[in-house]
Amino acid sequence: MKKLFAKKNRACIDKDKLPRHIAIIMDGNGRWAKKRGLARSAGHYAGSERFRSAAKYLQKLGVEHFTVYAFSTENWKRPKEEVDGIFSLLEKYLYEAINDLKDDNIVLSFWGDISPLSPKLIELIEETNELSKKNNGMHVNICLNYGGRAEITRAVKSIANDCAAGVLNPDDISDEVIENRLYSKNTPPPDLLIRPGGETRISNFLLWQLAYSEMVFTDTLWPDLTDDKLEEIIISFQQRNRRFGGL
């Protein structure tokens, strides 16, 4: 049995029982900044750096899929200055990712409706997606202008159009048919959802995919959720008995 040992006298991660897919709601950036007397933009910068570090840690660990909630369909309600700052950070990250993708061997994908974004950001996303096709490492999915209800509505409309066109028989609609219309097509559902920041809700995130996911809610703010704390959460996950509705 392969095991990755943690600090001395502590439990260890069982490499044979790693979650294939970890999803994180990156919450608490603004409060992290406020606690330090900083602008909210500083919190988003700290959160973006934490994301980069977490992705590298999970890839090294052997996790196959990593999905993060970066910007929801509801986040447009925030002040324009904050929204602009978030997208500016994303643009900076993508410029760097384009140079690093080959070395990191990460498959980077974006889930959500990117049509309202700036032409420059859309161009960067498309370029990143194209470069990612050459990689075969960990899949990192960034949920951007994403909402779980909007994703399901989009899938239902697609199915309805095919039924109206006679391409699909309504009797043939199944879970698999629906899943193939979601952004997460060909991606296993998350084994583990982590939400830092102290809130205990999923906030319209991956509503279909989280049906049987294990969930961990922590008061730790996202920029403070270190690799050591991620390690503790994964060890806790491995001690759970997942029954998927059975005994």
CA–CA distances in Å: residue 149 to residues 25, 36, 112: 16, 35, 11
Read off the pTM. 0.92
User: DSSP labels for 23-37?
Assistant: EEE---HHHHHHHTT
197/51 Cα distance (integer angstroms)? 15
Q: Which residue has the tokens 């509505």?
A: 153
Instruction: Please pick, among 14, 29, 75, 171, the residue that the annotation labels catalytic.
Output: 75
Could you read off the pLDDT of 159-174 as tens digits, one per residue? 999 999 999 999 999 9
| CATH T-level assignment (fold) for domain 20-147+189-238 | Undecaprenyl pyrophosphate synthetase (3.40.1180)
pLDDT score, position 207: 98
Mean pLDDT over residues 11-30, rounded?
Answer: 94
pLDDT of amino acid 245: 74
- To the query of whether residue 191 is one of the catalytic residues in this protein, the response is no
pLDDT of 10: 57
241 as an active site residue: the answer is: no
Q: Which of 9, 14, 16, 27 is catalytic?
A: 27
